[in-house]
């Protein structure tokens, strides 16, 4: 499982001209799922996302988590995070899970984040053509792969 975490001043997701998610200060989390992902990957990533100290404290030092600042989260599925660009110029998405595995795994991931976070998480719509808008704060953008735990 791969995630891109972006600290945002605001973010939204639009599908067919309808806003389906909209937050102010918080996190926009893009998630890519592969067939090798397990509950352990989900639990580990959810904990990392919720506890990650990437928001400024009273001295503007990154010491605060999303919970500490009372922010919000949007989680958006993005299979292209598993793009392989090794050969040629057209990415291959062979490692990205098909919907029969990816949808329940994505839903489980969202539910696990909500449980860890203690409040509702907004989402995009799995498989839809989404327009994601964000104002990256910092910018702060962090990549995490649950199979490469550094």
CA nearest to 25, candidates 69, 58, 59, 82: 69
**Catalytic annotation present for 80:** yes
Give Cα separations from 107 to 16, 133, 138 (angstroms): 22, 22, 29
Place of tokens 């989390």: 29
Number of H helices, E strands in the chain: 3, 8
The Cα–Cα gap between 4 and 78 comes to 10
Tens of pLDDT, residues 1-39: 999 999 999 999 999 999 999 999 999 999 999 999 999
Nearest CA among 60, 50, 59 for reference residue 27? 50
Q: Is 6 helix (H, G, I), strand (E, B) or coil?
A: strand
User: Given this model, what pLDDT does residue 42 score?
Assistant: 98
Length of the chain counted residue by residue: 150
Which residues of the chain fall below pLDDT 70? none
Q: Which residues pair with 87 in a beta bridge?
A: none
What is the per-residue pLDDT for 149? 81
The residue annotated as part of the active site, out of 14, 38, 80, 123, is 80
């Amino acid at each position: 499982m791969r995630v891109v975490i972006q600290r945002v001043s605001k973010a939204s997701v639009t599908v067919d001209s309808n806003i389906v998610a909209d937050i102010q200060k918080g996190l926009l989390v893009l998630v890519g799922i592969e067939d090798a992902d397990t509950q352990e990957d989900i639990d580990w990533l959810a904990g990392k996302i919720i506890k990650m100290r990437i928001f400024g404290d009273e001295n503007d030092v990154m010491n605060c988590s999303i919970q500490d600042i009372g922010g919000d989260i949007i989680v958006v599925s993005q299979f292209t995070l598993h793009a392989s660009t090794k050969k040629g110029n057209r990415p291959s998405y062979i490692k990205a899970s098909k919907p029969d595995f990816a949808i329940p795994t994505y839903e489980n991931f969202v539910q696990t984040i909500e449980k860890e976070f203690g409040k509702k998480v907004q989402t995009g719509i799995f498989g839809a053509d989404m327009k994601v808008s964000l104002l990256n704060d910092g910018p702060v953008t962090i990549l995490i792969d649950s199979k490469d735990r550094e």
